[in-house]
Amino acid sequence: MWSWWDSLEAVTKFNLWMQWLTGVFTVFAAVFGILILFSGNRMGKLQAQQDDAIREQNKARESQLQERLSAAEGAARNQSEEIATAKGKQVEAERALQEMQDRLKPRHLDEKQKVTFLDTLKTYPAGQIQIGYTESDAETESFAMELHVLLREAKWDVSLGGFLRPNVGKGITIGVKDAKQPPARAVGLAKALAAAGFDSKFHSWGYADDDLIWFDIGQRP
């Protein structure tokens, strides 16, 4: 079987074939090496392109998410503003309702207001006072009677006129000879009313007696 191995000619041919094959394989190896190099470079470029595409996609997603987040935040702000506006309107409506209820509520001095009224009033001189009120209005008459009792308790000389003097309008009017220079007792009466939570105004009656105060209780403003 291995008889050719003993032949110079056969071994020479075999050697030549091996050299030829080695050369061929060397060429193939070189070609494959070049192909590996080029394919590696191509892989790197393709990988870089893929990475760039992924980064762009991520940027696009982040941009979309940011837009959605901004839109959600804007909607939340708008909703918060709407809620705040609604609450503000509710508070305003409740305040308006309370003011209307206060205006409709009959005027009355509770025990604390009575004490405050009397304590303030007693720091000023007493005097003559005539109370007028709207006879046809039950709330006005009741409030006038309540003030009548307190003024008498403060040692004022009180009389009930039972009618409202003309042109005094609504609310509480303290009539004196000169509204710009009211006497001390009239000032004290105004301050006592204010301390108890009731507004009043001065009105000039040129024919009024210097010693007499005209105290008119009109309807609620």
Mean pLDDT within 10-30: 78
Residue 204 confidence (pLDDT): 87
Mean pLDDT within 40-68: 81
Q: Residue 151 pLDDT more than 80?
A: yes
Q: Can you give the pTM of this predicted structure? A: 0.56
Q: Over pLDDT 90: what percentage of the chain?
A: 30
130 touches 157 (CB < 8 A): no
DSSP string, the chain: --GGGG-HHHHHHHHHHHHHHHHHHHHHHHHHHHHHHHHHHHHHHHHHHHHHHHHHHHHHHHHHHHHHHHHHHHHHHHHHHHHHHHHHHHHHHHHHHHHHHHHHSPP---HHHHHHHHHHHTTS---EEEEEE-TT-HHHHHHHHHHHHHHHHTT-EEEE--SPPTT--SSEEEEES-TTS--HHHHHHHHHHHHTT---EEEE-TT--TTEEEEEE----
pLDDT tens-digit readout, 91-130: 887 777 677 666 668 899 999 999 999 999 999 999 999 9
Residue 24 confidence (pLDDT): 76
Residue 164 confidence (pLDDT): 62
Residue 173 confidence (pLDDT): 92
pLDDT tens-digit readout, 128-142: 999 988 878 888 889
How far apart are alpha carbons 99 and 221 in whole angstroms? 12
